[in-house]
A = this chain, B = another copy of it.
Amino acid sequence: MSAVAKDIIDKTRSLRSEVTQPFTASKRVYVKGSRDDLRVPMREIQLQSTRSTSGLERNPPVTVYDTAGPYQDPDTQIDLLNGLTPLRQSWIEERQDTEHLSGPSSRFGQDRESDPALAPLRFEHIRAPRRARAGANVTQMHYARRGIITPEMEFVAIRENCRLQELRETYAGAGYLKNRHPGQSFGAMLPEEVTAEFVRQEIAAGRAIIPNNINHPESEPMIIGRNFRVKINANIGNSAVTSSIAEEVEKMVWSTRWGADTIMDLSTGKNIHETREWILRNSPVPIGTVPIYQALEKVDGKAEELTWEIFRDTLIEQAEQGVDYFTIHAGVRLQYVPLTADRLTGIVSRGGSIMAKWCLAHHQESFLYTHFEDICEIMKAYDVAFSLGDGLRPGCLADANDAAQFGELETLGELTQIAWKHDCQVMIEGPGHVPMQLIKENMDKELKDCFEAPFYTLGPLTTDIAPGYDHITSAIGAAQIGWYGTAMLCYVTPKEHLGLPDKDDVRDGIVTYKIAAHAADLAKGHPGAQVRDNALSKARFEFRWEDQFNLALDPERARDFHDQTLPKEGHKAAHFCSMCGPNFCSMKITQDVRDYAEQKKIDAADALNKGMQEKAAEFRDKGAEIYHES
């Protein structure tokens, strides 16, 4: 057994005890689609009943979107050494537009495969890659434009609904649908119910993407578009300085537990090919990469030595492993580079600075730009989605919304149209560091210049003065840009600008971004978003402490914080909390007020009744005749 495999086995043990531990009172459920192998996973949170003077009132369970894949399914045996079940494989095969290759067609992939020194690092069950047949186009956009609803589209439609229709029909009285506020959607059109046909239309129009490489059949389809739930991405990846393969796999699983919708593997160190294989084979969510990072490794970090051939080989290498989307910095045009010279912090995107250096060294447009149609040919042969990178994004507030940034954005719009000509799926990356009053301009310009292709932003950070808290400086911006229309938010951890995130940082970053994305859904008026808020608020008001924890984005932290002040088990059933103590509690007083008001109503009814009885007696006294004869 290889060294990495041993390490992974150790991790598997810890996975069982912590990383994949089921959430208390949560149950994995599957909603079936039109075919038996279309089963959409969700998490159902069971709640306690409400005790009132009139007896027990049932609180129906709350169904929430679940990104954790098989790791939260107690009926699935997890084996990281074998990878996950390829649930999409039959869907891909049925389309009969792909072929199995005998092995990797990239030169680098072949070299790694045949290098015996890598055996200790290698995932042991590598499948031969699949590719579109000659002349075929296997993107979801291609199918959508031809009017085909794929199982992937139906899957995301069911997933987006999260059983809202069932809730409306069966549990309308439970209070979860109470006082749903109208949203302000800035042009987004959120349907009351997502149908597979709606998904198809959105993908055909380029307003949404389903990133799912045919070589990553283990992934559960998810959709990125502003007419759907706002998604979040978590970055992982080893670097030259720190972290191992097993750690990265663990972080990937950990990320899906807390709610990462996609994961980017930003590894820059050695063995990133092998690391990626381990991650892909075990990831239930789409994986994105920045291929130029690896290409740079292949030329020993010398940007000017990069060539189209090396880059092309890298794209094919990664596409055949199953990467679902590629960040491609093709918008860094030669003319924009000098526009950054007077910036306070120049070019801070790694990909952007590599390409800028290349452009200057060769004094010509980059091979990403000149070979863009060649890239499209590769993307459509595997259905890798474009994530057009913002290589010139601002690295500080002072540089926000400048000519370099917006020039590149316009070029990304041109490239979007080229990609769409090939039916390639596209999203657009956005900044970065932007003060609040300049955020909306970014969104508006992206929608206009990039023809409503989904926007995928990093933050933005709304101030530069809080290293150590940049998950927060950026969540403020992320919530806003999500509200304005950004489809996916790339998380920022507390370690941003300072170091590599550990597991705790990943959890903090993800939960923070789930908050931002959810706040955005609420503000846009997503039809199902307020259900969980209402259920949790009701639990809070009724002192159902366990339900309050279980409905929380991070039940474990909520429970832990409560127990720090009131550790006794009995306190969780108590009708008071630590802020007010047992003798005084505003929520208790409110209940008294409500009871009093109720009593008032009863009294009033009694009084009315009594009044009527008096009237009735008077009526009887007068002879009890309806018509007094005149």
Contacts and interface: CB of A to CB of B under 8 A. Distances in A.
A325 B364 CA distance: 66
A466 interface: yes
A533 B239 contact: no
B437 A462 contact: no
Given A344-B178, A353-B586, A578-B241, A495 B565 contact: yes
Contacts of A511: 466, 469
Interface in A522-555: 522-525, 530, 532-534, 536-538, 540-541, 548-549, 551-554
A565 B466 contact: no
A546 to B, nearest CB: 12
Interface in A479-518: 479-480, 483, 494-495, 497-500, 502, 511-512, 514-516, 518
A178 B345 CA distance: 12
B494 A268 contact: no
Contact of A435 (B399, B523, B548): B523
Contact of A347 (B242, B400, B593): B593
Given A483-B437, A516-B476, A593 B495 contact: no
A273 interface: no
A407 interface: no
B344 A467 contact: no
Interface residues of A, number: 126
Contact of A476 (B515, B590, B594): B515
B344 A538 contact: yes
Contacts of A498: 558, 561-562, 565, 577-578
Interface string A313-343: 0000000000000000000000001101100
A436 B352 CA distance: 34
Interface string A586-608: 11011111101110100000000
B181 A437 contact: yes
A591 B346 contact: yes
A345 to B, nearest CB: 4
Contact of A587 (B303, B346, B401, B581): B346
A354 interface: yes
Contact of A179 (B399, B465, B537): B399
Contacts of A401: 181
Interface residue SS majority, chain A: helix
Contact of A242 (B357, B565, B584): B565
A525 to B, nearest CB: 7
A592 B357 contact: yes
B500 A565 contact: yes
B525 A597 contact: no
A90 interface: no
A175 B398 CA distance: 10
A214 interface: no
A378 to B, nearest CB: 25
A553 B461 CA distance: 15
A605 B184 CA distance: 55
A349 interface: yes
Interface string A440-480: 00000000000000000000001111111101110110011
Contacts of A596: 357, 360-361
B352 A586 contact: yes
Can you list the 5 inter-chain pairs with the closest CB atoms, starting with the nearest?
A499-B565, A240-B581, A396-B537, A346-B590, A436-B523
Given A345-B587, A360-B600, 11 more contacts: A239-B580, A240-B580, A338-B597, A340-B593, A344-B538, A346-B593, A398-B537, A465-B518, A465-B551, A467-B552, A500-B565
